[in-house]
Each structure stands twice: as C-alpha cells, then as structure tokens.
A and B are shown apart, each in its own frame.
Chain A
C-alpha cells in the first residue's frame, strides 16, 4: 500500500497557496504510507533557469562550495539553497547543463530532480514530519505531486522514496508494484542508455516514460505505450513541466479518485485526501477508468 496525491491549479490565483492546499492532502494519506514521503513542486520562476535538487544524508555538506565550483566550471551564476538534507541548485543554463556537470564531476551526489520548473524533496519518516522538514506548506507553484510510501519492492531509504525524476521536469509516483521491472530496466539501460539510481520498480516506470518522451512521444502517448509495456499493478500520477497525468492499470486494484472544479484538478488514492480542498463539495468527483489516460496541461 502507498498513498499518492496530485494537485494541479488551473486558476493562477491559487498558485501562491499550492503548498497550503497540498500539505493536508499528503498528510491525510499517512496511514497508507507511513515510512517515507516525498513531493514534487512545479514552480516556473524565470526563463532560462535550470533547477537541480540534490540530496546528502550528511547535513553538514557544503552546498555553497558545490555551487561555487559549478559556477566557475560552467561560467554562469549558480546558487545553492539548503533545505534540510537537500539543496536546491539554480543555474542560468540550458536544461541538462548543471545536471550533466554534476553527473560527470560529482557522480556520488544524489540528484533528486532536475529541470526548469520541478523541485523534488523526499525523506524517510512520517509525512507530517517530511512536509515540515522541507517547508512544503509554504511552497508556491502551478502543480504538485506527492507520495506516502509503504515499501514493498525495495528498501526504506531516502533514495527509494517517491517521486522519481528520470528526465527534465518529469516525475512519477506509484501505488502498486511492477513485475517486469528487472527486464525493462536492463532494456532501457542497454538500448536507451538510461542510468537508474535505485533498485526501485517505480523508478523504472519513470525511466520508461522519459525514454518515450525522448523518442518524441507526448506524455499521453508515452502512458498509452506504458499500458502495453509495463506489467503489474499501478496507479500512477505523473508530473511534467506544465502538466499532470493519471493512469491506472487494466485490472485497477489500486485505488484512485479524481476531482475537478473550475479552479483545480486533484487526484488522490482516497477521497478523504481531497476533502479539505476549497470548493470540493461542488466538485465533479469520479473514479478514473482502468487503462485510461487522464491528462491536464498548460497551466
């Protein structure tokens, strides 16, 4: 069992409230996943910015030194903002530049996300504590995806927590378990050169979508293809730079509820996670159909 939630704000008036609305959603899913929690916030700050969130269990890690080194190497301003065990690095560089430099020169540094708008923070512990640790309730942006984990397929570690980010601005959270992830992992590593950071099955699903997107598919097309190539139980919530998608496997054992108003679209494992959203009493609430791609874009 795991809990997943997603909130996509259609009305820009709510963007400043994203974390305040999202926090209670994630916390309500604590019983479904009390061992770790994580979230991706999408916040388009300014054009030409590359954001990379990095993680180190050593809270004394000197992120300013890393930013300084990156700045000199890339000849562009790079800043570091420490957030508990994570740091958010910002560079004035094309997407992939800072990430590529980190992977080449600091291969031991754990990258939790990279892209133009995405910021992922995740940690072992109760969702309430993880939300507080990273100041989630104060965060702003267009959409957010979150996960509360009850581990089944791999160890309870920060790295094993969701969301998983495998390509610029893409993230995936997963409730369920995949049965063909070993074979798919080898295939993606061999034919597409994808590098995985964990043994987690859900990271393979994220990597699969990244591969499809890199091949030119839209996120909707990538998810349709996932229905064929992924074997197992899943409800996925997927974030992209400007979008939010939901997919359930054809058997649909894993729960999901969607709700929509003029102002927002929200998804959760259970309705109770949506019960605190403004205007939810008048929202359209429905259970997503099995094997059907739901997608919203362009906020």
Chain B
C-alpha cells in the first residue's frame, strides 16, 4: 500500500487535517505524516476509512473525534489522545500523557507504553488497552466500555464509576469511591481475550482482575455525602 506522504515541516496542521478529513476531495486510502514535532490536533475529526501513520511524537488531542479511521502514532502522544473517539482504531507505540481516550464513545485505543493520569476519564463506550501502566484517577466517572491495563494502575482507579469494565493485569494502588473488585466470569474472560487479541498484546489474561461499579453513588444519599 503506497501511502501519501505529508511532511509537517512543509504543511500546516490545518492543511493536513483538511486533506485527511476529505474536505476538498475524497481522501486517499493511506497517509504517512512526517515530522509532527509535538504539534497539537494532528489527524483530528477524521470520518473516512483511511489509514494514517504519524512518524514521531505528537502534542495534544491527536486523533480526537475519530470516526472509522485507523491512526497509528509511532512515538508518544500528549494530553487527550483519541479524546471523544466514536469508532475506528488509534494506536500509540510509545506513551500517552493524561486523559487518553477521554469521553470516547466507541472504537479501540491501544497504548503500547504507559498512559499517565486520568486515562479513560468519562469514557462512554470506547475500549482502551494499555500495554504498560496507567496513572491516578484512571476511568474516573467512566460510563461504558472497557479499560484494559496490562501493567499497574495508579491510585483512585475507577473513582465514581458508572458502568465501564476495568481489567488490570498488575497491581492497583487504590480504588476510587464506589469502585470494587468483581468476579471474573467466563464472559469477562472472553471479552478480555478478544480485546487483548485485537490490541495485539501478547499477554495472558490469566492474572487479570476485574473492577466495576458498586452502584452505590448513582443517586445522592446523605449517608454517603463524605464520598461524593
């Protein structure tokens, strides 16, 4: 597959995104973006089934609002990678900064390295697979979808969680309010194995534990005021 090369030393991010979004004409099937040099908002708002390889580190909100496109960042990603993603797949070969996959509605986000604080904050259906660790307050107020952490999870995992499923292979520093360990059922194992397989993580699901909502904070209760 011959990818069309766009070099951000010669092109602005806005011009790049107009091409990838197909604003003027139908986009090609594959693109390679060179020299992102930490630029913000690279490859955001894509709505076509195209493939984008970004070679280097990106700044904030890379692949935000993605729909159907497959975006690979060959490097690290800054704050809010794949935020509010609807569908498609985003892969970061390095580490991701905070709020990775924030508010995502669908699709798959794979971070091969570590993700820092607030990974999957307010996730609404996205699936996130992290090869390494996640920082504190990950899956804060998560509503739907799955967060898979192959390494360790930081403090206050799943604080004020609604209905997302959290699977952690390593240790958990602490659970947030209303997050509890759940029994790993056969169906969970299937879901987890399928996600690890889709993410191409060569990791056994055996050691993983499942966490979810205790559902006691759904409605205000004066006896629990201290936990809100």
Residues of A at the B interface (CB closer than 8 Å) are 252, 255, 257, 270-276, 281, 285-287, 289-290
Does B45 have its Cβ within 8 Å of any Cβ on chain A?
no
Taking a contact as CB atoms under 8 Å apart, the answer to whether A270 and B117 are in contact is no
* Among all A-B residue pairs, the 7 with the closest Cβ atoms: A272-B38, A271-B38, A275-B37, A287-B116, A275-B38, A271-B57, A252-B117
Task: Produce 1/0 per residue, B17-53, CB < 8 A to A.
Answer: 0000000000000000000011110000000000000
Does B59 have its Cβ within 8 Å of any Cβ on chain A?
yes
Residues of B at the A interface (CB closer than 8 Å) are 37-40, 56-57, 59-60, 76, 78-79, 94-95, 97-98, 116-117, 135-136
Taking a contact as CB atoms under 8 Å apart, the answer to whether B38 and A290 are in contact is no
Mostly, the B contact residues are: loop
Taking a contact as CB atoms under 8 Å apart, the answer to whether B76 and A271 are in contact is yes
Please report the C-alpha to C-alpha distance between residue A276 and residue B57 in the assembled complex, in whole angstroms: 12
Taking a contact as CB atoms under 8 Å apart, the answer to whether B135 and A290 are in contact is yes
Given A252-B135, A271-B57, A287-B97, output 16 extra A-B contacts at Cβ < 8 Å.
A252-B98, A255-B78, A257-B78, A271-B76, A272-B38, A272-B39, A272-B40, A272-B59, A274-B38, A285-B57, A285-B94, A285-B95, A286-B95, A287-B95, A290-B117, A290-B136
Please report the C-alpha to C-alpha distance between residue A270 and residue B59 in the assembled complex, in whole angstroms: 7
Please report the C-alpha to C-alpha distance between residue A72 and residue B79 in the assembled complex, in whole angstroms: 56
Taking a contact as CB atoms under 8 Å apart, the answer to whether B76 and A272 are in contact is no
Please report the C-alpha to C-alpha distance between residue A21 and residue B173 in the assembled complex, in whole angstroms: 40
In the complex, chain A residues whose CB is within 8 Å of the CB of B97: 255, 257, 287
Please report the C-alpha to C-alpha distance between residue A252 and residue B119 in the assembled complex, in whole angstroms: 13
Please report the C-alpha to C-alpha distance between residue A272 and residue B36 in the assembled complex, in whole angstroms: 9
Please report the C-alpha to C-alpha distance between residue A281 and residue B36 in the assembled complex, in whole angstroms: 11
Please report the C-alpha to C-alpha distance between residue A273 and residue B40 in the assembled complex, in whole angstroms: 12
In the complex, chain A residues whose CB is within 8 Å of the CB of B40: 272
Identify the closest chain A residue to B136 (Cβ). A290
In the complex, chain B residues whose CB is within 8 Å of the CB of A286: 95
- Of the residues A257, A272, A285, A290, contact of B37 by C-beta under 8 Å: A272
Given A272-B37, A290-B135: A285 in contact with B76 (beta carbons within 8 A): yes
Please report the C-alpha to C-alpha distance between residue A152 and residue B228 in the assembled complex, in whole angstroms: 29
Identify the closest chain B residue to A273 (Cβ). B38
In the complex, chain A residues whose CB is within 8 Å of the CB of B98: 252, 255, 287
In the complex, chain A residues whose CB is within 8 Å of the CB of B39: 272
In the complex, chain B residues whose CB is within 8 Å of the CB of A257: 78, 97
Taking a contact as CB atoms under 8 Å apart, the answer to whether B78 and A271 are in contact is yes
Identify the closest chain A residue to B94 (Cβ). A285
16 residue pairs of the A-B complex, CB under 8 angstroms, read A252-B98, A252-B116, A252-B117, A255-B78, A255-B98, A257-B97, A270-B38, A270-B59, A270-B60, A271-B78, A273-B38, A285-B94, A287-B97, A287-B116, A290-B117, A290-B135
